[in-house]
Amino acid sequence: MRIAALLATRNRKEKTIACLQSLEQQVLSDDVQIDIYITDDASTDGTTDAVLRQFPSANIYHGDGSLFWAGGMRNSWSKAVKDSPDYYLLLNDDTLLAENAVSVLLNHPAPIAAVCIGSTVDPESGERSYGGRKLTAKHSWKDDLIVYSETNYLPCDVANANIMLVPAEVVKKIGILSSSYTHGLADYDYALMANKAGFTVYVAPGYLGSCINDHGKSWKAGSTSLKERIAYLKSPKGLAYKEYMTFIKRHFPLSYPSAMVKVWAKTFFPFIWETFRK
């Protein structure tokens, strides 16, 4: 069995090395082989050299600094597809895997191919940082609930790809991460696409890794200028407005009008929005 581990990195040398070390320490049977595919998006901290010193067999590709997370992951994934592995392990470069993480992901209960997600815990707060979520209304992007169990594999609708195992059968049917997204939302989109294609997306039991939740708000506070708030709204690491609306239109078309109103309410009237939410 061959697993392609997919990563994207930029100027996080120490975290990337620690992540790969946790991958190397996985407890697996002798017939499982993990190959590394990593895109270094123009790092200036010596990430590539550091990775090759410790992991000389790693496949490293280079971006021009404009790939961000989704672009870097697509690049790694598109290269790995050419080698036809049995599974693809999407892994955030700041995630530290538990030593049994991959074996737990492989052990999902579905009789056919299924995507399997690993939840992560924030090492500072001890709380869940990333994983899977269940929508409370299938056709509305409104509310969702955390999916987590210490003992059971549970289905979910959307998921973070900090730890995500995708079998080759899924990729053959729905492809890799969509080119519609630059940074975020690509993993949520992929989980939804897998579900729509008839594959179950599971959240594996327990915490399979640790990772700090570094996702900030998708809008700027009222203390910033309107110009700054609009720029952040459109930026890849903000809401990425056009991409967000594409995501809503693709998966939750009935929520499109209300989503647009909420986005601009947050931008033009952040104080009122915060008060309204409370």
Does 273 share its domain with 236?
A: yes
Q: How many domains is the chain partitioned into structurally? A: 2
Is residue 221 included in any domain, yes or no?
Answer: no
Does 164 share its domain with 35?
A: yes
Residues in contact with 165: Cβ distance below 8 Å, sequence separation at least 6, in sequence order? 3, 87, 88, 89, 90, 102, 105, 106, 115, 116, 117, 118
Amino acid occupying residue 246: T
Lowest mean pLDDT among 53-62, 93-102, 147-156, 249-258: 249-258
Does 250 share its domain with 126?
A: no
Residue 10 in tokens: 């930029």
pLDDT digits (tens, 9 = 90+) for 107-166: 988 888 999 999 999 999 999 999 999 998 877 777 789 999 999 999 999 999 999 999
Sign of the torsion formed by the C-alpha atoms of 100, 106, 110 and 116: positive
pTM, two decimals, is: 0.91
Does 133 share its domain with 174?
A: yes
Domain that holds residue 118: 2-210
Does 81 share its domain with 200?
A: yes
Does 160 share its domain with 234?
A: no
Supply the CATH number for residue 145's domain: 3.90.550.60
Residue 252 in tokens: 């939750």
Q: What DSSP character marks residue 147? A: E
Does the pLDDT of residue 236 top 90, yes or no?
A: no
Is residue 31 included in any domain, yes or no?
Answer: yes
